[in-house]
Structure 1
Amino acid sequence: MTSSQTPQPDPDQGVILAPRVWLPLAVIALGVAALLLTVWLALVVSLFGLFLLIQSQILRLQFTTDALLVWRGATVLRRFPYSEWLTWSLFWGPVPVLFYFREQRSIHFLPVLFDATSLREELNRHVSAP
């Protein structure tokens, strides 16, 4: 690779989850509904939904043979080796909105901004079932 090339998530090196925008759009809708209560609450909730919508478009999760990678554009933000994982869970059953996993030294919560079915399948494939 030359210095002018930047690494990108490579589908040949693992599964990259497709983004899903229903959670950010639902949060934005809640923000609009909050207009019935107060403008400030509506503004805060809507801005959080907008933040999630932007994140759903710029972040990618990639499952490789040995780790979960979190990409932002061409940069790997974090690498989570499966050997460090203790447990994981997707909260709220048929409509998962929150992904939780625990490593040996830390706990992580991520909003489900990706295809939840593929996320569950890849977790079952790479990490022991919770």
Structure 2
Amino acid sequence: MTSATSSPLSTQTVELSPSYTLPLVLIVAAVPLLLIKIWVSLVIAVFGLFLLFQAATIRLQFTETALDIYRSETMIRRFPYQEWQNWRIFWSSVPILFYFKEVKSIHFLPILFDPKMLETCLEQRCPKS
């Protein structure tokens, strides 16, 4: 977190920690699938490796006004909260997918970040109506 500790969390910039759970589960699940279907196993393993790379390089920052997405030090996208209509984390017991809808578009992101902090930031900055 950045900013003074006396200000509320909703006004601080919060960068989510990466979570490698989803990519590692996919990679491990691909191993026994080698005995059943090699091509299915390879597809799942490659997807897991892709998500592992994304978790290592992509950063989500919740600012006071927007969700910013960075690759290393470069901002690649900004999503102002004022344009959000709805959001949801699918399968809250085992969070794997984050959905949010803006005025003109819908977004689905795999959970490659700390799911508890993601939900906390969303509830503070974009409360569900």
Same fold per superposition (TM over 0.5): yes
Shift of 1:77: 0.8
In structure 1, the residue corresponding to 2:92 is in which secondary structure? coil
Code of the aligned partner of 2:32: A
2:69 is equivalent to residue 78 of structure 1: no
TM-score (norm 1): 0.89
1:4 is aligned to none
Q: Deviation per CA, 1:39-82, whole angstroms, max 9, x where unpaired?
A: 11111110000000010000000000000000001111110000
Aligned length: 121
How far apart, in 2, do the equivalents of 1:105 and 1:30 lie? 36
SS of aligned partner of 1:54 = helix
Unaligned runs of 5+ in 1: 1-9
1: distance between equivalents of 2:98 and 2:19?
Answer: 14
User: Residue 109 of structure 1 corresponds to which residue in structure 2?
Assistant: 108
Query: Does 2:96 align with 1:97?
Result: yes
Which runs of 5 or more residues in structure 2 are unaligned?
4-11
Equivalent in the alignment of 1:51: 50
How much has 1:37 moved relative to structure 2?
1.4
After TM superposition, give the deviation of residue 33 of structure 1 in Å: 2.1
**TM-score, with normalisation over the residues of structure 2?**
0.90
The 3-state SS of whatever aligns with 1:110 is strand
Q: How big is the alpha-carbon RMSD for the aligned residues of Structure 1 and Structure 2?
A: 1.3
Structure 1 stretches of 4+ with a deviation exceeding 3 A read: 10-13
Counterpart CA distance in 2 for 1:81 and 1:21 is 27
Map residues 5-84 of structure 1 onto 2, 5 A cutoff.
11-12=2-3, 14-84=13-83
| DSSP 3-state at the match of 1:124 | helix
CA distance in structure 1 between the partners assigned to 2:48 and 2:101 by the alignment: 25
Q: Deviations over 1:76-106 (max 9, x none)?
A: 1110000000000000121110000000000
What letter matches 1:63 in structure 2? F
- Secondary structure of 2:79's aligned partner: strand
